[in-house]
Amino acid sequence: MQPWVPRVWVWVVVMGVAWGASPCSDRAACPPCLHAPDCVWCARNLTGEGGVSLPRCIQLTDDAIAPWREACGESDVHEPVNPSEDHKSEECSFHGAYQCGECVCDAGYQGRQCECEARDLWGQGEGGEDSCRKSNASAVCSGRGSCHCGFCMCHERSNPNEIISGAFCECTNFVCARDNGQMCSGPERGECECDRCRCRPGWTGDTCNCEASTDNCINPVYGEECSGSGECECNQCRCHEGYSGRYCEDCPTCRGKCAVYRACVQCQAFQTGAFTAAQCDANCTLFQAITVHTQPLDLGEGTRICSFFDEDDCRFSFTYEYNDDQEPVVLVQSARECPPPPRNIPGEDKEVACPPLDQAVTEDAEAVYL
C-alpha cells in the first residue's frame, strides 16, 4: 500500500483539475454548499502536503470524491440537502434542513430559522426595515420591538400585566397620563389603551378626572349653564373674564347676591330669619357663614358688602367674595346693631323708645336713662 502523503499529493493534483470546473467551487460555506445540487461539505478544514488548503465543498460526481471523503473523515462529511419532507427540521420551521449547526432553507424561505417567506424579505436587511416604521421619522417598531420578516415583534415586559401591542408596537397599556399618581385617575374611572386614557361612562378628560355631567353648572335660578357667562368644565363653571360666582352669575355691574344669601346668613349666624334649623341645613349648603368680630368688615378687591334689618329691627352686615373654586366665602359681623329697648315713662301708659345715645339729649331726656 502506498504511503498516504504521496497519495494525497496525487489527489490534490487531480482535485486541482476537477475543482476548477466544479459547480461547488464558489460555495465555500456549509449552507450555500449543501443547498447546491450534489454538493457535499467537510466540517473541518482540509490541508494537503505543504500546508495547501483543500476545498471543503465538492461535487458528489467529482472523480476525487472518494479520496476527499477519506481525507475529511466520514463523521465530518455533510451530505447535500434533500428537498423531501423527510429532511425538513423543526428547528428550521419545517422549511429547511438543519445542517452544520445552521438551517439550510428551502427555496423561497430565508432567515435564521427559515421563518421568512420570500414575499416577506422586503422587510429584511439594511434599509429593509421601512416596513417596520410607522412613518419615515419613526423608530423601528417604535423602539419597543424588533423587525422580523418585515413585521414587528413587540418586546415583552417583566410585568405580565404590562403589554406592548400594535402593528408597529406603538401601543401600550401602561404609558398614560396620571392624576394624583394614578393612571387614568384609577381603574374606576378609566383604563389605558394605546397610550391614551379611555374613560368609563360618567368621566371625561385626558386623565378621566372630570365628571361628564353638567348638573353642577346649571344656575338653579335661571336654569342656564354657567349663567351664559362661562364654560362648564369638569362639571364646574369656568367664568369669562369679569364674571365670578359658582354659576358665573356675579360681576361688578351685576345685581349682587345679598338678597339670595340673606336667609342663610341669618339662620347660620344668628339662628333667626325665615328658615328653621332643619330648613337651614337643607337649603344652605352653598356656604357656611363665618362669624368675625371686625368692625367694620374688611373689604378686599371683588368683595361685596350686604346689610339688612331683621325682624327685631336689628341691622346685620356681611360680606361675600369667591375663592379660586368660585365658591362663595361669607363673613358675618358678629354683633347686630339693635335699637335700645323701650322704657316706661312715669305717668304714661304707653312705652316710649329712647333716642339713640349718639344724639344730643336734654336734661329731661337724660332722666329717662337714669
Q: What percent of the chain has pLDDT over 90?
A: 33
Q: Which long-range contacts (CB under 8 A, 24 or more apart) does 172-181 make?
A: 172/144, 176/207, 177/206, 177/207, 178/207, 179/207, 179/208, 179/209
Q: CA-CA distance, 113 to 173, in Å (whole number)?
A: 31
> Could you tell me which of 97, 48, 37 has the C-alpha nearest to residue 70?
48
Residue 183: pLDDT over 90: yes
Q: What is the pLDDT of residue 364?
A: 37
Residue range 175-211 forms a domain whose CATH class is mainly beta
CATH architecture of 258-333: Irregular (4.10)
Q: What is the pLDDT of residue 281?
A: 94
Higher pLDDT, 176 or 303: 176
Higher pLDDT, 362 or 161: 161
Q: CA-CA distance, 324 to 342, in Å (whole number)?
A: 47
Helix 4-21, helix 65-72: angle, nearest 10: 120
Q: CA-CA distance, 237 to 224, in Å (whole number)?
A: 11
The boundaries of every CATH 4.10.1240.30 domain in the chain are 258-333
Q: What percent of the chain has pLDDT over 70?
A: 80
Q: What is the pLDDT of residue 119?
A: 58
**C-beta separation of 131 from 145 below 8 A:** no
H helices of 181-271, where? 258-265
Mean pLDDT across 83-102: 71
Q: What is the pLDDT of residue 367?
A: 31
Higher pLDDT, 172 or 302: 172
The dihedral built from the CA positions of residue 154, 157, 163 and 164, taken in this order, carries a sign that is: negative
- Per-residue pLDDT tens digits for 263-319: 999 999 999 999 999 999 999 998 999 999 876 766 767 788 889 999 989 999 999
Q: What is the pLDDT of residue 366?
A: 33
Tell me the backbone φ, ψ of residue 330, rounded to 5 degrees: -110, 125
Q: CA-CA distance, 270 to 285, in Å (whole number)?
A: 17
Q: What is the pLDDT of residue 302?
A: 72
Residue 5: pLDDT over 70: no
Q: How far is CA 59 from CA 13, 22, 66, 67, 148, in A?
A: 16, 7, 11, 13, 35
Neighbours of 341 (CB within 10 A): 8
- Per-residue pLDDT tens digits for 44-70: 888 767 777 778 899 888 888 888 888
Average pLDDT of the chain, as a whole number: 79
Query: Best-predicted range by mean pLDDT among 79-88, 235-244, 250-259, 266-275?
Result: 266-275
pTM of the model: 0.43
* Helix, strand, coil in percent for the chain, rounding step 5: 25, 25, 50
Tell me the backbone φ, ψ of residue 120, rounded to 5 degrees: -95, -10
Q: How far is CA 192 from CA 141, 144, 159, 166, in A?
A: 20, 17, 15, 14
Q: What is the pLDDT of residue 344?
A: 66
**C-beta separation of 204 from 184 below 8 A:** no
Q: Position of cell 346668613?
A: 265
Band (pLDDT 50/70/90 cuts) for residue 87 is low
The boundaries of every CATH 2.10.25.10 domain in the chain are 175-211
Which cell goes with 121? Answer: 424579505
**C-beta separation of 327 from 244 below 8 A:** no
Q: What is the pLDDT of residue 310?
A: 92
Higher pLDDT, 102 or 43: 43
Higher pLDDT, 54 or 368: 54
Residue 329: pLDDT over 80: yes
